[in-house]
Amino acid sequence: MSDSAEERAQALVGKTLGEGYRLEALIGQGAMGAVYRATSAKGAEVAVKTLSAEVMGPQTTQRFLRESELVRGLKHPHVVRTLDSGADRVTGLLFLVMPLLNGRDLDRVIEELGALEPETAVRVTLQAARGLTAAHRIGIIHRDVKPGNLILDEEEGEIVVRVCDFGIAKQMGGQSELTATGSQLGTPDYVSPEQLKSSKHVDERTDVWSLGATLYQMLCGAAPYSHIDAVFDVITAIMTEDPPSVQARAPWIEAPLALVVHKALQRDPNQRWATLEDMADALRPFSGGDELLEPARIVAATNARKRTTAERADLRQAPAATSLPPAPRTQMAKELEVTSTVGSSAHERRVDRNNAGGSGKGAMLAVAVLSAAIAGGSAYYFTRGSGAAPITAPAAATVSATVAVIPPAATVSTPQGPIPVVNGSATLRGRPGETVTITVEHEGTKKTFAVSLGSDGIASPSRLVLTP
């Protein structure tokens, strides 16, 4: 980073962008943008990420603005919200406005702790899968899932995993893409083989691969292909070689868990988990009973655990040993046909999974990332992929809001009747400002919640936790 770039970023402090976002302090900076602590016109503390229109170019800028609604419509407890976005008329900067979170990204956690306790790693993965599944169900594929894009946010004494940075997202079944084809395909260590071949022709299984690679790293402390230094060699290996066994790096990992991980990392997408719902179903037996994350659970694998050696898995069994039938219909998949987690019926069907290519050699990846890896500060988190001129939506007669249900096997009901729970999420509908009485029940334990439905489609509380 040049001094002039740092000076330009620092020079924006004190200025106001868009509709009244005053930049208070520079939090972090990269080659293509910067993140600031800011104050909105209403006095709320927010995080503002700026992207240089000059770097992005006119075509990408227009695409960035045009497609902002795609990601702005994604409202889920396990996704970092984009509050606003647009292009500043004075500076020409594109900007995104996000909540100012109290947490740090998973990349920093792994850097500090190394391999995590297996139950912790599984719980982080289950929560991330909820957020990504919500995106998949409205037709959005993330395509850049990695530890740096999973935020461990602290909320009321609990750690909540939130997915951020949908900057290279792709809309399934449409022409919408938030990056220029062939130039920005994600972080190489976590990119699926089919995405390396063609970032256009991928489906949700590319996120299965990436989340599987992230889980692999949480379990053993290293990314699947971290033993290879050169970027081009990493790309070649991803497309032509299976990753080393996670048990070779973490001998204490149980064989059945290793099989779940390596099924996610099959180079042929048809051998992989078909959806993140299926992967989550397979992981739940290794969560220790639920997926709650208290701060005390974010710990490294203990020395006692590291001294154990589990039975070695036969990875040749990974595609078959944990396979589900073709076009699997788990209980969550059946419920998927009834209700939409985020209110879009157009994508309640399963996506045709025959468009993505399998393993094999492909062209070199151009690793030009849409926005910089921002350094410094842990009180902010941002997304790459949403942005447009601020839009004021007409008031809605009814709103839909998603709540996370823990444990995901619990039943949810209102005085009017039951509400389907899909992948641990339930959709509530009512008038803006209405308070809905929700009863959550599981194995003889019952709890009632008063949930307020915001006009912006956000429920409060957004997580219904039933403790034994």
Q: What CATH number corresponds to the domain at position 23? A: 3.30.200.20
Q: What pLDDT is stored for residue 124 in this prediction? A: 98
Q: Are residues 87 and 107 in the same domain?
A: no
Mean residue pLDDT across the chain: 77
Please tell me the distance from the alpha carbon of residue 20 to that of residue 459, in angstroms, as a whole number.
Answer: 26
Say how far residue 90 (Cα) sits from the centre of its chain: 33
Tell me if 166 is assigned to some domain: yes
Residue pLDDT, tens place only, 285-333: 999 988 899 999 999 999 999 999 999 999 998 988 654 433 333 333 3
Percent of the chain with pLDDT over 90: 40
- CA 133, 138, 141, 145 torsion-angle sign: negative
Around Cβ 248, how many Cβ atoms within 10 Å? Answer: 12
377: in domain: no
Domain of 131, CATH number, reads 1.10.510.10
In-domain check, residue 380: no
**Residue-range definition of the domain harbouring residue 200:** 103-347
pTM, entire model: 0.71
282 compared with 425, residue with greater pLDDT = 282
HSE-up (13 A, CA, CB side) for residue 164: 34
Same-domain pairing of 140 and 235 = yes
> How far, in Å, are 128, 134, 276 from residue 328 at the CA level?
21, 18, 12
- The answer to whether position 365 is within a domain reads no
Select the more confidently predicted residue: 376 or 201: 201
Whether residues 422 and 333 share a domain: the answer is no
Residue 59 has what pLDDT? 62
Tens digit of pLDDT for each residue in 63-110?
A: 566 556 667 778 899 998 888 888 888 888 888 888 888 889 999 999
For the packed helices 205-220 and 276-283, what is the interaxial angle rounded to 10 degrees? 30
* Co-location of 293 and 424 in the same domain: no
Give the pLDDT confidence of 395-406 residue by residue, as tens digits: 446 667 788 888
- Mark whether 326 and 420 lie in a shared domain: no
Higher pLDDT, 50 or 200: 50
Return the sign of the alpha-carbon dihedral for residues 393, 395, 398, 404: positive
Residues 277 and 404 in one domain: no
Question: Quick check: 188 and 238 in contact, CB under 8 A?
Answer: yes
For residue 35, what are the β-bridge partners?
A: 28, 49
Domain presence at residue 94: yes
Same domain (yes/no): 288, 437: no
Does 304 share its domain with 446? no
Both 155 and 304 in a single domain? yes
Check if 144 is active-site.
Answer: yes
Residue 435 — pLDDT band, cuts 50, 70, 90?
Answer: confident
Looking at 99, 129, 154, the residue that finishes a domain is 99
Catalytic option among 84, 88, 105, 144? 144
- Residue 9 resides in a domain: yes
Helix (H) or strand (E) holding 446: strand 445-453
Give yes or no: residues 178 and 92 share one domain.
no
Number of domains in the chain: 3
Tell which of 330, 347, 364 closes a domain.
Answer: 347
pLDDT at 442: 85
The dihedral region occupied by 332, where left means phi > 0, alpha psi between -120 and 50, and beta the remainder, is alpha
Is the domain of 171 the same as that of 107? yes
Q: Is residue 372 in some structural domain? A: no
Residue 48 — φ and ψ, nearest 5°? -120, 125
Q: Which of residues 33, 67, 99 is at a domain's end?
A: 99
Q: Does residue 155 lie within any of the structural domains?
A: yes
304 and 200 belong to one structural domain: yes
